[in-house]
Amino acid sequence: MPLCATLLPLRARTSALRALQPPLSRRVFSSEPHYDEKTVYQYASQQIKPVSIGQLLKYSAPPLTPANILDSVAYTQSELPVRLAKRVISFHNLPFIVGTNPHIARVYNQYYEAFDRLYSFAPIDSIEREQEFSRALERQTQILVDVIPTIAQGFLECKQYMAREERTAFINELIRSRIGLRVIGEQHVALSYQFRERQKPASGEEPGDVWVGAIHTKLSPASMMRQCAQMVQNMCELHYATTPSYYVDGDVDETISYIPSHFEYITCELLKNAFRATVEFSRSQRRLSHPPIQITITKGEGYVGVRIRDQGGGISKENMRNVFEYSWSTMQEDGETSTAGMSLQTNLAMQQGIGGPIAGLGFGLPMARLYAGYFGGSLDIVSMEGYGCDVFLKLRSIEGSVEQKQI
């Protein structure tokens, strides 16, 4: 039966839950019996158990055995419901009028359903039951794939009801939590898949040759940039009926250890901005042809750098103050909005990108910077107003800081 919640003003709680009560101005679950409010608060009261990339990778140490898989699923099964419950409670703490927005309420329900689906599994004690859990985990990933565009639309409609700092704090925490949930969950799903593939007769390159769970140990930034640029070029052609060319130069033969979907998300967002700005500036300046987008790859010790250079007119000083703000977009400054979704979302398990609009709800750049910084990277923009922009992306190789980075 589908789960749904009516977000109601706070009512009296039982004494057993008083220590976990939100303030009286907040909302709580519906009293309908299929909402196990007590269980959610019990899970949300538990401490998160951070895990390093190194700890996640230890499960994949060859040979990949049933014991490795059961160890991995034990951590995944115990940790994800706690993190999901905390996100559910965070929605309770939003102002009432914000929580009743249909887009935000939809995401709230999706997080509760994900919690309900995972916590209800009995402890996994066999490879057969682990496979069932992994399938549920993969389905959950698909259900939550549109969380960010939905939240983006909700906060765009409700931004007058919350201070900018409060909105930013909520969204940042939601996105960071979502990244952690996906890394932990999808790392296990990938390990489970690889384990089963290795039980089959060998045929060609084994997954472990370049893959460690969801991490690609020999990812080519140049190849990824070409794929992403081609995808964005197609989107630009569909949207504007014209598109700039591009070229990739620099250290094109270098590789990095990274999660491909993170790389894809960040770079597609940056390329969409570059392609769109170039076409629109060409139109405003009556240029007969578009200058190409230059993508330069550099490799340092333990990191890779990407510079994306365009001749799209640059960003004004006034707008530079806003480009990393959520729900701000030059499309909206020009009186345009888009409700069709806002970004490329990627399915990590399948390693398959799904296209989004060429410009959207003002979440692209702030999310790209948050993703870049998650594993110790950075994202900076240098604008020459009236000419174009240089965007500098720095991504640290995951294998270089596996023990330090806590998820």
* 35: CATH: 1.20.140.20
Same structural domain for residues 135 and 191? yes
Tell me whether the omega of the peptide bond preceding residue 123 falls within 30 degrees of 0, making it cis.
no
Domain boundary among 153, 184, 212: 212
DSSP per position, 257-315: EE-HHHHHHHHHHHHHHHHHHHHHHHHHHT-SSPPPEEEEEEEETTEEEEEEEE-S---
Q: Round to whole Å and give the CA distance between 278 and 292.
A: 9
Same structural domain for residues 204 and 253? no
Stated pTM of the model: 0.80
Does residue 274 lie within any of the structural domains? yes
**pLDDT score for 327:** 66
Q: Round to whole Å and give the CA distance between 50 and 404.
A: 11
Helix (H, G, I), strand (E, B) or coil at 21: coil
Whether 242 contacts 290, CB under 8 Å: yes
**pLDDT score for 232:** 94
Specify the length of the chain in residues. Answer: 407
Same structural domain for residues 170 and 233? no
Residue located via tokens 């998300």: 265
Q: Which of 260, 218, 212, 198 is nearest to 61 (CA)?
A: 212
> What count of Cα atoms within 13 Å lies in the side-chain half-sphere of residue 394?
11
Range of the domain at 54: 8-212
Q: Round to whole Å and give the CA distance between 60 and 213.
A: 7
Same structural domain for residues 76 and 196? yes
CA 234 to chain centre: 23
Does residue 407 lie within any of the structural domains? no
Mean pLDDT by 10 residues, the chain (407 residues): 34 33 39 64 92 75 84 93 95 93 93 91 92 91 82 87 91 91 90 84 58 87 96 92 97 93 92 95 95 96 94 92 75 41 30 42 84 92 96 88 66
Cα distance between the two ends of the chain: 33
246-250 vs 293-300, strand pairing mode = parallel
Q: Which of 294, 324, 332, 336 is nearest to 312 (CA)?
A: 294
Whether 99 contacts 105, CB under 8 Å: yes
Helix (H, G, I), strand (E, B) or coil at 86: helix
Q: Round to whole Å and give the CA distance between 290 and 277.
A: 10
Domains of the chain: total: 2
Does residue 111 lie within any of the structural domains? yes
**pLDDT score for 226:** 97
Does residue 405 lie within any of the structural domains? no
* 292: CATH: 3.30.565.10
> What DSSP element (H or E) covers 150?
helix 147-158
Q: How many CB atoms lie within 10 A of CB 315?
A: 21
Same structural domain for residues 191 and 243? no
Whether 88 contacts 99, CB under 8 Å: no
Helix (H, G, I), strand (E, B) or coil at 389: strand
Same structural domain for residues 308 and 163? no
Q: Round to whole Å and give the CA distance between 312 and 360.
A: 18
Domain boundary among 188, 212, 236: 212
Tell me the torsion sign for CA atoms 261, 265, 271, 272.
Answer: positive
Same structural domain for residues 293 and 341? yes
Q: How far is it between the farthest Cα atoms of the chain?
A: 73
Q: Round to whole Å and give the CA distance between 339 and 333.
A: 15
Helix (H, G, I), strand (E, B) or coil at 406: strand
- For residue 320, CA distances in Å to 19, 45, 139, 335, 365 come to 44, 40, 39, 18, 12
* Amino acid at position 400, single letter: G
Same structural domain for residues 79 and 91? yes
- 3-state helix/strand/coil string of 337-358: CCCCCCCCEEECCCCEEECCCC
Same structural domain for residues 194 and 225? no
Pair of tokens at residue 240: 């504007």
